[in-house]
Amino acid sequence: MALLQISEPGATPQPHQRKHAVGIDLGTTNSLVALVRSGTPETLADESGDSLLPSVVHYAADGSNSVGLLAAQRAIDDPLNTLSSVKRLLGRGLADVDSLGAQLPYEFERDDGGMPKIRTRRGTISPIQVSAEILRTLAERAERAIDGMLDGAVITVPAYFDDAQRQATKDAATLAGIKVLRLLNEPTAAAIAYGLDGADESTIAVYDLGGGTFDISVLRLSRGVFQVLATGGDSALGGDDFDRAIADWIRRQIGLGDSLDPKQQRQLLASARAAKEALTDAECAPLDVLGWRGEFSREQLDAEIMPMIDSTLRACKRALRDAGVAVTQVDDVVLVGGSTRTPLVAARVGEFFGRPPRANLDPDLVVAQGAALQAEVLIGNQSGDDLLLLDVIPLSLGIETMGGLIEKIIHRNTTIPVSKAQEFTTFKDGQTAMAIHVLQGERELVDDCRSLARFELRDIPPMVAGAAKIQVTYQVDADGLLSVTARELVSEVESRIEVKPSYGLAETEITQMLKDSYSHARDDMAARALREQQVEADRMIGDLTAALDRDAHMLSNSQAQCLRVAVAELRDLRRACSEHRTLAQQIQAVGKASESFAALRMDSSIKSALAGHTLDEIDQD
């Protein structure tokens, strides 16, 4: 008798064909891995039953590594070889890290690509290597749970991670031997875990304050479609900063100066963190550190961290404005990240949004659980027909044009994945190459934006200026990673680059970029207008000078002299003028004065082209 096998829609009918994929939350303070079992996501625990893996790696003298709690226990007695909070260093340059130098008890050095490396007894270690050790430990935990090999993982990143930080995260996973199915924004993962995708239509704000990063994302959910309307935050603000603020308060009470050795720094930070966690439920926490005893109250904690919480709320306000959503239109507010356990955070967020935030799921676990649900879809174990994720890029992507201007090709808060193309042309006659400078930022001038990559398109056929057609295509994939292609449309020569910068934005650069784009908007537009006129003036000066050198004989001596004087006056004004309207008027005047000369040159060119041809030959052509 034949057996009839029934399976759920979207599920594989053969159990042995089921693939194993997990969700990983690579955190600043703690990391987790989650797996979907019987349709429900659950975080995987270690042998002691703890799901949270401290994001700490210790490099021992005997050549062994320890990851997690055992490593964290070595932080005070061996601080230079115990590396924690490295998520803050992913995708950053050494110059960026210098701003955190007094807060990080490490010895840094630069590698050839500009990435910061940490000196340890095992040599110099990069943040990517440390992150790979943490990811490898989580993958091994998952493989023990499934008694097999992993087929892939969804790894979460802060929504406000830039291209360099995302690429560094992906590189760490590759180094750990993990196939990355997708980099998923942490707020989106949290919304999935809460099951908010089942709502008919709603607008939610996900407030994600972790150990080292802060994100605010505004999402619109409609019939299973997650559309991220806007995102904001700070990739270097979180619970670690709370700890440092408390540590500074303790240091002032003890009367210590700023120059502490690494061991003292670790002791202060450990005491500060313990006090902060105790004040989640208590009103006062005892302190016993470096021979000093005292107390730290919740009122004092609130005073120390209030400026940082206010900074997160300003980011919330900007994100709502970018999304075009009033605070009264937000239907739900979700708290994510261990730092949201701090009572003042929940209170201030509730006041800002005018409603109590959701915190019924464990804020430490919710991101990994959402990532696990998405991994099930991407690996093919569940149908993704009822769930569509539409994330956005946090900052605009553009290209440098003549005059040091940036032409934005993909604007910030554009839904990804996305591909956009724009045509450009050559500036000089006979130009056979074009330099492509890829930029990120909101300002109008190259100097005010961040450089991501440079490459060249060569072997362009020599043509007159403006005749070549160069199509530049920017493509951002679902992970938020960028590739750029430049192609000359006549000859079809092509060049492309995968944008893999070795380091990312400094601590406050993303937020500062947005602030500057608002506060300098009028000045930027004026500067752009001036640069555009300067480029036009340079083009006109070059063209007329070359034309006069070649064809001045077509004019009388006085006519030629008048044009040369006009060109000289334009050149002098180009150097001295700081007002685009004045320069534009002079360009127009010179253009008008040269019209008759241009007509003579055109007539001469036509006569030369027709010389030696009969009318019948011309008709046949």
CB 302 within 8 A of CB 346: no
CB 478 within 8 A of CB 157: no
Tokens describing residue 620: 């046949």
The strand pairing partners of 391, in sequence order, are 416
CB 469 within 8 A of CB 488: yes
Q: Is the peptide bond before 417 cis (omega within 30 degrees of 0)?
A: yes
Residues present in the chain in total: 621
d(CA 590, CA 573): 12
Q: How far is CA 205 from CA 190, 200, 318, 336, 394, in A?
A: 11, 16, 12, 11, 16
d(CA 264, CA 366): 34
CB 20 within 8 A of CB 151: yes
Tokens describing residue 115: 């990435």
Annotated active-site residue in 171, 186, 234, 509: 186
Helix ranges (DSSP H) in 324-382: 343-353, 366-379
Tokens describing residue 592: 């008008």
d(CA 357, CA 337): 13
Q: Catalytic site residue 200? A: no
d(CA 591, CA 572): 16
Phi then psi dihedrals of residue 38, to 5 deg: 55, 40
Q: Catalytic site residue 50? A: no
Three state DSSP letters for 201-235: EEEEEEEEECCCCEEEEEEEEECCEEEEEEEEEEC
d(CA 463, CA 37): 63
- The residue type of 105 is P
CB-based burial, 51-67: b 16+ in 10 Å, e otherwise: bbbbbbbbbbeeeeebb
Tokens describing residue 432: 């056979």
Contacts of 42 (CB under 8 A, 6+ apart): 34, 35, 36, 369
Annotated active-site residue in 133, 162, 208, 243: 208
CB-based burial, 567-576: b 16+ in 10 Å, e otherwise: beebeebbee
- The residue type of 125 is I
Contacts of 522 (CB under 8 A, 6+ apart): none
Sheet holding 470-476, edge to edge: 418-424, 470-476, 482-488, 494-498
The strand pairing partners of 240, in sequence order, are none
Annotated active-site residue in 87, 117, 276, 408: 87
Of 204, 395, 203, 216, the residue nearest 316 (C-alpha): 216
The DSSP line for 466-526 is TT--EEEEEEE-TTS-EEEEEEETTT--EEEEE---SS---TTHHHHHHHHHHHTHHHHHH
Q: Catalytic site residue 87? A: yes
Helix ranges (DSSP H) in 92-238: 94-98, 127-146, 163-175, 186-193
Give the rounded distance of the alpha carbon of 272 from its chain centre: 30
Active-site residues, by number, are 25, 87, 186, 208
